[in-house]
Amino acid sequence: RAIHYRIENGKGHGMGHIMDYGRGHKSVQMAVIVQKMVFPNASGVLFTADPLTGNRKVSVIEAVFGLGEGLVSGKVNPDVYKIKDGLCFQQVVSRKEQQVVPNRFGGVAALELPVGLQNSKVLTDEQIALLEQFGRNAEAFFGAPQDMEWGMTEEGLYLLQCRPITTLYPVPEGAIPGNRVFVSVGHQQMMTDPMRPLGMSVFRMTSVGPRYEAGGRLFVDVTENLISPDGRKYLLDVLGKSDPLIREALKAIVTREDFIKIVSEDKAGTGTSHGSGDFQIEPEQVPERLAGLIQKGEEAIEKLKWEIQDYSGTALIDFIMDDIQRLKQSLFDPQNISAILGAMNAFSWINENMFDWLGEKNAADVLTQSVSGNITSEMGFELMDVADVVRDYPEVIAYLEAAQETGKAEGFPEILSERSGGTLAMKAILTYLDKYGMRCEGEIDITRLRWSESPAALIPLLIGNLKNFEKGEHQRKFESGRQAALEKAESLIRRVRRLKDGAQKADETARRIEVLRSMIGYREYPKYSIVSRYAVYKKALLREADALFEADVIPDRESIFYLTLEELRTVVESKKCDWREISGRREAHRRYEKMMPPRVITSEGECISGHYGNRDLPKGALVGLPVSAGVAEGRARIMKSMTDAVLESDDILVTTFTDPSWTPIFLSAKAVITEVGGLMTHGAVIAREYGIPAVVGVENATVRIKEGQRIRVNGTEGVIELL
């Protein structure tokens, strides 16, 4: 158990102050403690932070009569007391039918409690206050929230054990003092994995406004928006569309008048705004304008690829920092923002008005199928074309299947040239990688392995396409979706025209549909532009890493991932690096990987979860946000990574989150369920374009749904039935 604890909590290799490098766990010494036993009349545990919510200001005491064995063994239900600032604000006095006491012959025995004590409090108010203060003193001494075991005798209070609480999510660092509210950036970006320091620093530079780090993730302080009526309305509206559970969590905080003070209307600001989203041109001019924005972005990336080759050392770091500013300027250019918001506004307008006028839910979902110019959906379709090249050559297919089975794909795809038809297959794959090789899971973290660095990531995707589709499926699927969208548009316009003031409403509906179909594809382009530049930066930075490794400045090339970009510049300049710091950050990253970030967290460390409203659901059903209409029934496939398995035609994808790298998998899925997401996040946009039912924001879906279970996904209502 001791070895397991050291491994789980990062006290393993690389932690020289814990273990000897040469002897590993055998170097750890064990002490034998000879200690006088305490025979308390009351015992229990004390947490100096609420282990359920993470609130560092709340202490939680569990208490039983007699020895603590009654509590830890589960034989006795404890009293539970919650205390904040010396005040016990919540208590549950349980019925305690027995207590555990020392046995005169050794060991312990369970004895029935006198009837008069069974429903009485274990601790007095004075003892509760004493315990809380005792815990705060221990917390101050050890420098972290503590999990303590205690015993109370006639002589007084005894501390029996004290250790840090290792399960608390860290509080965001560096924010303004006082009561603050933070929202997870990862839930907005569909990437809740922890980021390494280099990835964190580059993404922070790309973002607008301050971002605060906690547990390897970024958070944004939304307190100022919450205290302003106008700002709060804007924030809840935006986040409600992105992630309803975040909105509900924030609404819960606002109702707590003791945490943040709401200012009056006359003292409030106008809140945050990023423009109206009105694309100031006629719908027929939209394609030309968007093409201009895309061409401008493509030219900037090609220019970057050429220019960056001339830089090295600190000059390279400076060049990258300057280019990130150019990238940010282009991302937040008013034309770029209005193009994105224009499509989003059209989407919302259609859904809201078609429901009001025709009683039809999620009408815009079908309208976004098979639009032109979506760089992400094209990525999925074009991999189907690569599979069409491969499917004619049995030797190539045999290699792919063997590589998938054994996990050995050294030299892929060049090794294919040794097989019949392999040269054509290799060229098709390399052409695909030339266009999409910058993509990968968790791609907003520059340190993640790109497809161009590990082409074998495409093998399970290709095998899935070979198994699930016939040749030419790309064009058939695209045309089928396009026809469905056009028929839907004609139907909606025809039905609206029959209404009162129908001609005017129909004309506006037609205009909104045209704007939606011509602009929604651009929604995916800015992220494509970001990761394209990140891939160029990474390639250049790894050249510097190789030079540092050759000079024995860093222990390995990936050590630079555990430095911020600013720290890396200092290392490049000084040729000095603290290897122990690198080791410590590696260990911290491994710990962070085991944590799931909260959607909302306060400066007190309280993690707040939102909840969907009360709904009449089938027994055992799960609820989430409906983002792509339709109903599908099939077999659940739980995938934590896109390399976990090859989807089959009856499979429903269930995962934590998806980003653009998952797009090719969507084509093989009957439906999609994710724990994270919103109406306009990647998975929702692509599911709608491919015509796949999808429900997102389903809490703990990967745990509550079992592998292979038959389920029914209703992407119109946001309901998942377990069959």
> How are beta strands 607-608 and 79-84 bridged, if at all?
unpaired
Spacing of C-alpha 566 from chain mean position: 26
Of residues 33 and 65, more confidently modeled: 65
Q: Average model confidence (pLDDT) for the chain?
A: 90
Average pLDDT score over residue span 398-403: 95
Distance in angstroms (rounded) separating the CA atoms of residues 79 and 122: 7
Question: Does residue 271 register a pLDDT over 50?
Answer: no
Residue 645, pLDDT score: 67
Q: How confident is the model at residue 20 (pLDDT cuts 50, 70, 90)?
A: low
pLDDT tens, position by position, 479-531:
999 999 999 999 999 999 999 999 999 999 999 999 999 989 998 999 999 99
| 3-state secondary structure labels for all residues of 394-416 | HHHHHHHHHHHHHCCCCCCCHHH
* Mean pLDDT for the stretch of residues 394-414: 94
What SS3 state is found at 213? Answer: strand
Complete DSSP assignment for 110-122:
EEEPPHHHHTS-S
pLDDT grade, residue 195 (50/70/90)? very high
Given a cut of 90, is residue 189 above it in pLDDT? no
- pLDDT at 18 exceeding the cut of 70: no
User: Highest mean pLDDT range out of 242-251, 338-347, 555-564?
Assistant: 555-564
- Determine contact, residues 49/41, Cβ cutoff 8 Å: no
Is pLDDT of 266 > 50?
Answer: no
Task: Kindly indicate the confidence band of residue 26, based on its pLDDT and cuts at 50, 70 and 90.
Answer: confident
Please name the residue that has the structure tokens 């050249």: 543
Residue with tokens 């545990």: 45
pLDDT, tens only, 351-377 = 999 999 999 999 999 999 999 889 999
Over range 117-124, report the average pLDDT: 91
Q: Counting runs of H as helices and runs of E as strands, what totals does the chain give?
A: 25, 21
15-29, 42-56, 111-125, 376-390: lowest mean pLDDT where? 15-29
Answer whether residue 650 shows pLDDT above 50: yes
Q: Which of 187, 474, 589, 682 is catalytic?
A: 682
Is the separation of the CB atoms in 245 and 675 below 8 Å?
no
Mean pLDDT, residues 79-99: 92
Residue 176 confidence (pLDDT) above 90: no
More confident residue, 679 or 499: 499
Q: Cα(696)–Cα(653) distance, rounded to whole angstroms?
A: 11
pLDDT band at 264 (very low <50, low <70, confident <90, very high): low
What is the predicted pLDDT for the residue at 523?
Answer: 87
Closest CA to 636 of 401, 380, 644, 469: 644
> For the segment 428-483, what is each residue's pLDDT rounded down to a tens digit?
999 999 999 999 999 999 999 999 999 999 999 999 999 999 999 999 999 999 99
Name residue 604's amino acid.
E
Q: Name the pTM for this structure.
A: 0.87
Quick one: pLDDT band at residue 276, thresholds 50, 70, 90? very low
Q: What's the rounded mean pLDDT across residues 66-78?
A: 87
Q: Report pLDDT for 284.
A: 62
330 Cβ contact partners less than 8 Å away, ≥ 6 residues apart: 296, 297, 300, 336, 529
The pLDDT assigned to 268 comes to 46
d(CA 665, CA 663): 5
For the cut 90, the answer to whether the pLDDT of residue 214 exceeds it is yes
pLDDT band at 542 (very low <50, low <70, confident <90, very high): very high
The single residue listed with the structure tokens 């039912």 is 693
Comparing 269 with 248, the larger pLDDT belongs to 248
User: Quick one: pLDDT at residue 285?
Assistant: 67
Cβ(416)–Cβ(459) below 8 Å? no
Percent of the chain with pLDDT over 70: 94
Which pLDDT score, from 0 to 100, does residue 577 have?
96
Residue 84 in this model has a pLDDT that exceeds 60: yes
pLDDT reading at 14 higher than 50: no
**Has 474 been annotated as catalytic?**
no
Which of the four pLDDT bands, split at 50, 70 and 90, describes residue 682? confident
